[in-house]
Amino acid sequence: MKAHIAVAGLAGLCSLSGHAADPARINWDSVPKSQFTLFYPGQSTQEWMKSAAHKAGATGVNDGKNCLECHKDEEADLGKTIVSGKKLEPTPVAGKPGSVNVTVQAAYDKENVYLRASWPTHAKEAGVFHDYKVFKGGQWSTHSAGRTYKDVREGKAKVSYEDRFNVMVGDNKGTVAGFEAEGCWVTCHNSMRDTPNEPTKEQVKAHPVLGDAGMKKNDIRKYLAETRSAMDDRGGWDKVKDKAALDALMARGVFLDLWQARAYRSLPVGKADDSHVFQWRNFDKGKKPFDSNWDGDKKQPRFMFDPAKNSGRVALTEAQFRDPKAPRLDDGNSIPYDASKMKDGDLLPGFILNARQDGSAADLNASGKWEKGVWTMMIWRKLNTGQKDDVALAPGQTYPIGIAVHDDASTTRFHYVSMPLKLSLGKKDGHVNAVELK
């Protein structure tokens, strides 16, 4: 993890000005700590939340009651029930804890906001690697991936997936309906990836807006009900509003900012992934910290290592799998893929890092350190980035947020989430109260 800190530190100093721009220089011991129990949500989508299956809760949610009015201090119990598979989880992961305790601190100055989070990991090592592909008999297949992917569950692939700390931020005018009371559940719907009523790849690819003719997606990620012309108890994945209607919503700020500090795909280049939830979970505009290294049409990687920069080799070996000393594939040590150079057993990462980013995708700085079983990650950014796909923050204001952690090689619904929370800048009415740096 030493490399992460060095890279992140440099990025911080280059891209920010002012005495407190580098959060490593903040005296975090003097910043108040808030503790949260993040719990395992399983398939508790917004549609489930509003259905009869949520009993008395559904009436409350439909009346605009905050989850915390009924569930204060119940997070660990909710998580325990769901992770066991008794409720809302058809495919439980053996041995997974139902919740995790996360400590959050926040600060701001005239220009920037700084968040710091730490939590104990379930795994005995840092989740600083992601998926790999392996070459065998002239073909590429999954070598390793997240714990809940089909190939891994069936024992055909190994486990390898990054840890993450995530924050979802809304504006303080209630522009996204329900976010203050229901938190991240306003983005989590039936018909999304790993939830009930999930469409097939072919169905998504055939969709005029989301599929091959439009956004070129093959699955459904988080989305807001506002972007659909109709929602029912199955969700509303295919009922995307027309472009004019979506443009009007975006112009009104009907989206949620999503910040993700990713231990493989963003921290090594000193960044967090800057996205926003709208009609899909979109990346912000510009060159982002990582890109996919997989060409789905040709079923082969897009890039391989430049042998001049990788001890004469175009790929990694099995012995380098999850080796902290093995290089990550990035835009500085790679060349376009050449099938003729591959040998049986060669490994290539599923993603390629970009040392340089630009546009709105480059707004979030981040660093991380895993020590003695505990992650500490920091994200910092301009209070107001001036970008249309970011929520602008200002001193003296309080904003609705949700936080999440992806732990132990898990993604999609297999993460831990917070109840709806608030972040205040300089006031004391939040669950996380950022202090002003003088």
- Residue 19 or residue 55: which is nearer to ligand HEC going by CB? 55
Region near ligand HEC per CB under 6 A, out of 70-78, 197-205, 210-218, 303-311: 70-78
CB 71, min distance to ligand HEC, A: 5
Please check whether residue 293 is in contact with residue 304, taking contact to mean a CB–CB distance below 8 angstroms: no
- Rounded CA-CA distance 378/235 in Å is 34
- Residue 112 or residue 187: which is nearer to ligand HEC going by CB? 187
Please check whether residue 388 is in contact with residue 248, taking contact to mean a CB–CB distance below 8 angstroms: no
- Residue 87 or residue 309: which is nearer to ligand HEC going by CB? 87
Does the protein bind ligand HEC through residue 61 (CB under 6 A)? Answer: yes
Site track 30-49 with ligand HEC (rule: CB under 6 A), x = hit: --------------x----x
Does the protein bind ligand HEC through residue 70 (CB under 6 A)? Answer: yes
Region near ligand HEC per CB under 6 A, out of 58-66, 202-210, 284-292, 408-416: 58-66
Those residues with Cβ within 8 angstroms of residue 3's Cβ, 6 or more apart along the chain or in another chain: 268
Nearest to 330 by CA among 360, 359, 310: 310
Does the protein bind ligand HEC through residue 302 (CB under 6 A)? Answer: no
Those residues with Cβ within 8 angstroms of residue 438's Cβ, 6 or more apart along the chain or in another chain: none
- Rounded CA-CA distance 307/321 in Å is 18
Does the protein bind ligand HEC through residue 182 (CB under 6 A)? Answer: yes
Residues in the chain: 438
Out of 19, 55, 124, 325, name the contact with ligand HEC by CB under 6 A: 55
- Rounded CA-CA distance 103/118 in Å is 5
CB 405, min distance to ligand HEC, A: 16
Region near ligand HEC per CB under 6 A, out of 68-76, 113-121, 133-141, 270-278: 68-76
CB 185, min distance to ligand HEC, A: 5
**Residue with tokens 């504006």, as numbered in its chain:** 171
Measured CA to CA in angstroms, residue 391 lies from 188, 242, 252, 256 at distances of 20, 23, 11, 7
Please check whether residue 176 is in contact with residue 254, taking contact to mean a CB–CB distance below 8 angstroms: yes
Does the protein bind ligand HEC through residue 69 (CB under 6 A)? Answer: yes
Region near ligand HEC per CB under 6 A, out of 65-73, 119-127, 296-304, 337-345: 65-73
Query: Where along the sequence are the contacts to ligand HEC (CB under 6 A)?
Result: 44, 49, 54-57, 60-61, 65, 67, 69-71, 78, 81, 87, 182, 185
